[in-house]
């Protein structure tokens, strides 16, 4: 006997808005006297519609002549938000049936697979469109981008046949007159002027190394994640280097609703160049065989006709005395200051901060919200609190010791001096640590330990650790660490260390000029993200600001 096939189509709408709701899981159930049967499930599309098909084999085990009595369960992620069990569709026929289900409250969707983002480029750089190249470097395997000019797929830069070096996939602005449409992308969007960089190997991105063949090209990047999730974001970044100023405009229904400015109002590209260039002209690290961070500048083998490429940031250099040798301050003077004022041979309160001294240089105290939309109930990625003291020893090592609510007993995290002073350490926020006496180094992850370390490194970068400056909350250095980030940004850097330059001078200079990331944890207190929640964005404008730079 041939099974009858049943076709169900429907739409999920908001009761008030009458608009379809995308990205919801719809389950169709057959109402039975004994056990209800799950007949099928599907996701709603962009307009809230869904279709289901199933045959009678799903429900005729008990009653051979029975027709299905349908009801529906609607889920947002794993949360049941609607059931129609109290309004069953009795004796559904095999022909197509249609149903409309209304939601009293439309939930914020964590993931909308049908969402799309239009990205357009506004060229104020004074570089001709034909000489501006755009490339996409992906952080995930699922990428869906099209050229809105003709709907052809956009390839990532590294999507090549494996023969290296390779030119990669680049698109001039002439080729993208209408911009691009993104359904799924997580990674970096690169901008290159005059000539795009070439792919040297699998997983390659340009490095600030003397032997990198793309060193003297002018390129920069911004970061973007769009997958249809409410947590999607874009940001500008000047952590690794500064080269091409960009701004971001988020639009919804034709109106700008949020921005991130690569140049703050009345700031020029030349001003940023001048402020960053003088930080290492001359070099201030005190190390031998170094040169300023300006490329080309004094970098070896620079072409005679080379024009401005970039200024390399302090976290992009190799370990101390590697090539190129960092020209930036190493934070060693800052650590020595903390040792002198608050080290093991001092008495608490004598250094000008009542609860610092006898080795204690900071109180690392706060809350960790956990990781992801579905936060684990236990483990290092779960929600928890922490209360630790930062203690410096005679060798300028820093140990965090205290309690973490999700861990039984005392927790210790030892940061060794050599790792703190490396450019990837305090500057880069990527200092490895020894956890609970282990000899093996652990590198920071997206967990409570990485977050705790972020408090310490943020405090060192902004000058809060050991600061005797006064605030409305009390003396800054004596505050619990997460209170630092609630203080006005204008109180950071030089205002926290008025007598010395004990802070990240690169970040301090950029904080007055740009809303781009200036060190890895600047999002704890500064406006760096543009939200790409699909419910209130349809277009992102990437504005290429005036590119004019005059080198001395």
Range of the domain at 266: 110-325+516-551
Q: In the structure encoding, which two tokens stand for residue 39, read together? A: 């007949």
Look at the chain and report how many structural domains it folds into.
Answer: 3
In a domain, 506, yes or no: no
Of residues 185 and 167, the one with the higher pLDDT is 167
- Domain check: are 32 and 170 in the same one? no
Q: Quick one: average pLDDT of 218-242? A: 94
Q: What's the pLDDT band for 88 if we cut at 50, 70, 90?
A: confident
What CA–CA distance (Å, rounded) separates 275 from 161?
Answer: 42
Residue 39 has pLDDT above 80, yes or no: no
Helix (H) or strand (E) holding 222: strand 218-226
pLDDT, one tens digit per residue, over 527-546 is: 899 999 999 999 999 999 99
CATH number at residue 228: 2.60.110.10
Mark whether 301 and 348 lie in a shared domain: no
pLDDT of 111 strictly over 80: no
Q: Is 445 part of any domain? A: yes
Q: Quick one: pLDDT band at residue 5, thresholds 50, 70, 90?
A: low
The mean pLDDT value of the chain amounts to 90
For residues 172 and 308, membership in a common domain is answered with yes
Q: What is the CA radius of gyration of the chain?
A: 28
Residues 353 and 436 in one domain: yes
292 in the same domain as 393: no
Mean pLDDT in residue range 246-260: 97
pLDDT at position 117 is 95
> Which of residues 267 and 53 earns the better pLDDT score?
267
Instruction: Answer yes or no: is 511 within a domain.
Output: no
Question: Do 122 and 40 fall into the same domain?
Answer: no
What mean pLDDT do residues 139-163 have? 84
pLDDT, residue 379, reads 87
Residue finishing a domain among 52, 80, 103: 103
pLDDT at residue 35 greater than cutoff 80: no
pLDDT at 80: 82
Q: Per the domain annotation, does 354 fall within a domain?
A: yes
Q: Do 248 and 336 sit in the same domain of this protein?
A: no
Torsion 26-181-247-316 (CA) sign: positive
Residue 42 reports pLDDT greater than 90: no
**Same domain for 263 and 349:** no
137 vs 95, which has greater pLDDT?
Answer: 137
Judge whether 218 and 549 are in contact, CB under 8 Å. Answer: no
Q: pLDDT tens digits for 407-426? A: 999 999 999 999 999 999 99
Band of the pLDDT at 3, cuts 50, 70, 90? low
User: Is 510 part of a structural domain of the chain?
Assistant: no
pLDDT band at residue 58 under the 50/70/90 scheme:
very low
281, pLDDT greater than 80: yes
More confident residue, 302 or 80: 302
Q: Over 50: is that where the pLDDT of 64 sits? A: no
pLDDT surpasses 70 at 52:
yes
State the pLDDT at residue 419.
97
Task: For residues 377 and 386, give the distance between their C-alpha atoms in angstroms, rounded to a whole number.
Answer: 16
Least confident window among 65-79, 208-222, 244-258, 319-333 = 65-79
Average pLDDT over residues 272-289: 97
pLDDT(432) > 50: yes
CATH number at residue 52: 2.60.40.1120
Domain boundary residue, one of 103, 125, 154:
103
Tokens of 294: 């300006």
Q: How far apart (Å, rounded) are the C-alpha atoms in residues 135 and 171?
A: 7
Q: What is the pLDDT of residue 62?
A: 36
Enter the pTM of the model: 0.80
- Are residues 307 and 371 both part of a single domain? no
Task: Say how far residue 131 (Cα) sits from the centre of its chain.
Answer: 29
Task: Judge if 223 and 165 occupy the same domain.
Answer: yes
- Is 401 among the domain residues? yes
The count of residues in the chain is 552
Residues 9 and 88 in one domain: yes
Question: Would you say 218 and 510 are in contact if contact means Cβ atoms under 8 Å apart?
Answer: no
pLDDT tens by residue, 502-525: 999 999 999 999 999 999 999 999
Whose CA is closest to 6, among 88, 98, 72? Answer: 98
Asked if residue 521 lies in contact with residue 450, where contact means CB atoms within 8 angstroms, the answer is no
Q: What is the mean pLDDT of residues 369-386?
A: 87
C-alpha 259: how far from chain center: 16
Final residue in a domain of this structure, among 103, 133, 150: 103
For residue 112, pLDDT beyond 60: no
Q: What average pLDDT score do residues 153-181 get?
A: 94
- Judgement on whether residues 247 and 200 belong to the same structural domain of the protein: yes
The answer to the question of residue 319 being in a domain is yes
Indicate whether 68 pLDDT > 90. Answer: no
Percent of residues, the chain, with pLDDT higher than 90: 71
pLDDT at 50 over 80: yes
Phi/psi of residue 481, each to 5°? -55, -40
Q: Specify if 508 maps to a domain.
A: no
């Amino acid at each position: 006997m041939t099974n009858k096939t049943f076709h169900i189509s429907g739409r999920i709408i908001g009761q008030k808005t009458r608009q379809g709701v995308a990205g919801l899981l719809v389950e169709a159930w057959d109402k039975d006297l004994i056990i209800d049967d799950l007949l099928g499930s599907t996701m709603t599309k962009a307009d809230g519609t869904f279709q289901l098909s199933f045959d009678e084999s799903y429900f005729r085990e008990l009653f051979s002549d029975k027709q299905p009595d349908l009801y529906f369960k609607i889920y947002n992620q794993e949360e049941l938000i609607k059931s129609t069990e109290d309004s069953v569709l009795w004796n559904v026929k095999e022909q197509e049936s249609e149903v409309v289900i209304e939601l009293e409250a439309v939930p914020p969707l964590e993931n909308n697979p049908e969402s799309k983002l239009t990205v357009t480029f506004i060229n104020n750089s004074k570089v001709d469109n034909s000489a501006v190249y755009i490339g996409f470097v992906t952080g995930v395997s699922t990428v869906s981008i099209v050229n809105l000019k003709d709907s052809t797929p956009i390839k990532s830069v590294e999507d090549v046949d494996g023969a290296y070096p390779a030119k990669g996939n680049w698109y001039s602005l002439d080729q993208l007159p209408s911009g691009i449409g993104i359904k799924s992308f997580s990674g970096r969007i690169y901008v290159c002027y005059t000539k795009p960089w070439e792919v040297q190997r699998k997983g390659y991105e340009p490095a600030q190394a003397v032997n990198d063949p793309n060193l003297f090209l002018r390129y920069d990047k911004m970061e973007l994640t769009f997958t249809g999730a409410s947590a999607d974001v874009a940001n500008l970044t000047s952590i690794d280097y500064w080269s091409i100023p960009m701004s971001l405009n988020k639009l919804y229904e034709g109106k700008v609703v949020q921005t991130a400015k690569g140049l703050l109002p009345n700031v020029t590209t030349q001003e940023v160049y001048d402020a960053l260039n003088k930080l290492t002209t001359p070099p201030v690290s005190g190390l031998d065989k170094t040169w300023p961070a300006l490329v080309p500048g004094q970098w070896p083998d620079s072409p005679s006709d080379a024009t401005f490429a970039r200024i390399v940031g302090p976290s992009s250099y190799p370990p101390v005395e590697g090539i190129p040798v960092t020209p930036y301050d190493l934070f060693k003077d800052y650590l020595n200051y903390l040792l002198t004022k608050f080290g093991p041979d001092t008495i608490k309160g004598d250094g000008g901060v009542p609860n610092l001294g006898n080795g204690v240089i900071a109180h690392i105290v706060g809350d960790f919200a956990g990781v992801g939309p579905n936060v684990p109930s236990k483990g290092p990625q779960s929600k928890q609190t922490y209360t630790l003291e930062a203690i410096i020893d005679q060798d300028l090592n820093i140990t965090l010791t205290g309690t973490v609510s999700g861990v039984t007993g005392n927790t210790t995290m030892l940061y060794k001096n050599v790792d703190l002073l490396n450019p990837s350490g305090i500057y880069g926020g990527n200092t490895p640590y020894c956890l609970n006496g282990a000899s093996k180094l652990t590198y920071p992850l997206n967990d409570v330990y990485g977050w705790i370390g972020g408090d310490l490194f943020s405090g060192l970068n902004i000058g809060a650790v050991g600061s005797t400056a006064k605030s409305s909350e009390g003396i800054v250095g004596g505050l619990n660490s997460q209170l630092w980030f609630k203080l006005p940004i204008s109180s950071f850097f030089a205002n926290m260390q008025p007598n010395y330059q004990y802070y990240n001078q690169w970040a301090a200079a950029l904080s007055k000029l740009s809303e781009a990331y200036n060190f890895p944890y600047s999002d704890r207190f500064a406006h760096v993200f543009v939200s790409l929640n699909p419910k209130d964005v349809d277009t992102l404008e990437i504005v290429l600001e005036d590119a004019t730079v005059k080198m001395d």
